[in-house]
Amino acid sequence: MTGQRRWSPARAISAWLTSVLFARQLGDFLLLWLVLKGANAFTAVRAGLPPLAFRPGAEAVALAFECLALLAFQRRNREDLLLASLGLGRPLVLLPFALVHTGLSLATAALA
């Protein structure tokens, strides 16, 4: 352990994104995305709208639910303190999942 202690956000995020920890969390998040996407599609069909279209309002609500559930999962699995010890605050922890949500929803809408 030599050299000066220095924190770099890029280093912290890249270490986390390439870790088994993130892979597990991503697995949780994909399940959450599927559940919320299903619920959104169901309400869209009932309202006579295309089920898999990208509707920003509905996507934002779904993403908010997914993030809250993900934070609860992280807490339950005791990963919140571990992530904090990497110097990663909640906004940074949620950012990759927001990008995954948006990317998946746009891709689904384009393919539908």
Partner 1 sequence: MHRFGSRTVLHAAYVDAVAGTVTALVGQSGAGKTTLLEILVGRRRPLDGQVRHAGVRVPHLSRAALARRGVVFVPDAPWLSTRVRVRRQLALVARVWDADPIAVARASEVQAFVDRAPPALSAGERRLCELAVATACRPEAIVLDEPFRDLDPLHREAIGRRLRALAGDGVAVLFADHDATMVAEIADRLFAIEEGRTRLVPDFRNTPIVEWYCGWSGLDQTGRRVDG
> Given the rule CB under 8 A, which of 14-22, 33-41, 43-51, 95-103 is the region that contacts partner 1?
14-22
What part of residues 23-52 is at the interface with partner 1 (CB under 8 A)? 24
Tokens of 37: 């996407």
Tokens of 50: 């295309």
Question: Do 39 and 66 form a contact (C-beta atoms < 8 A)?
Answer: no
CA torsion sign for 32, 34, 35, 39 is positive
Q: Please identify, using beta-carbon distances, which residue of 39 and 84 lies nearer to partner 1.
A: 84
Least distance from C-beta 55 to partner 1, angstroms?
A: 33
Q: Note whether 10 binds partner 1 by CB under 8 A.
A: no
Number of Cβ within a 10 Å radius of residue 105: 23
Q: Note whether 21 binds partner 1 by CB under 8 A.
A: yes
Question: Do 28 and 74 form a contact (C-beta atoms < 8 A)?
Answer: no
Would you tell me which residues interact with partner 1 (CB under 8 A)?
A: 1, 3, 5-7, 11-12, 15-16, 19-21, 24, 77-79, 81-90, 92
